[in-house]
Chains A and B, each alone.
Chain A
Amino acid sequence: MIAAPIPHDEDKRLQALRALLILDTPPEERFNRITAFAAFEFDVPIVLLSLIDDERQWCKSTFGTDFCSSSRDISFCGHAILQDQIMVIEDATQDVRFHDNPFVTGEPHIRFYAGAQLVLPTGEAVGSFCLIDRKPRTLDENDLSILSTLRQMVVTELVANSDKSVDH
Chain B
Amino acid sequence: MSLHAYKNSKLPLVLLYDSEYMIRSVFALLANQTAKASVMETAHLPTANNLCQTNAFELVIIGMGQEHEEKHFIELIRGGMTLTDKSVPIVVMTSAITEGLLYELKSLNVTDILLKPTRVKAIHDVFLRNIN
Contact = CB atoms under 8 A, between A and B. Distances in A.
A22 interface: no
Interface size on A, as a range, is 10 to 19
Contacts of A152: 29, 33
Contacts of B120: 41, 146
Contacts of B26: 37, 41, 146, 149-150, 153
Contact of A143 (B22, B33, B121): B121
Interface centre among B26, B117, B119, B124, by most chain A C-beta atoms within 10 angstroms, is: B26
Contacts of B119: 40-41
Contact of B22 (A33, A145, A148): A33
B30 A145 contact: yes
A142 B124 contact: yes
A33 B121 CA distance: 17
Interface in A9-66: 33-34, 37, 40-41
Nearest to B32: A149
A28 B120 CA distance: 23
A150 to B, nearest CB: 7
B34 interface: yes
A151 to B, nearest CB: 10
A145 B33 contact: yes
Interface in B1-48: 22, 25-26, 29-30, 33-34
Nearest to B33: A149
Nearest to B20: A37
Nearest to A36: B22
Contacts of A149: 26, 29-30, 33
A41 B20 CA distance: 14
Contacts of A146: 26, 30, 120-121, 124
Nearest to B22: A37
Interface of B: 22, 25-26, 29-30, 33-34, 117, 119-121, 124-125
Interface of A: 33-34, 37, 40-41, 142-143, 145-146, 148-150, 152-153
24 contacts: A33-B22, A37-B22, A37-B26, A40-B119, A41-B26, A41-B119, A41-B120, A41-B121, A142-B124, A142-B125, A143-B121, A145-B33, A145-B34, A146-B30, A146-B120, A146-B121, A148-B33, A149-B26, A149-B30, A150-B26, A152-B29, A153-B25, A153-B26, A153-B29
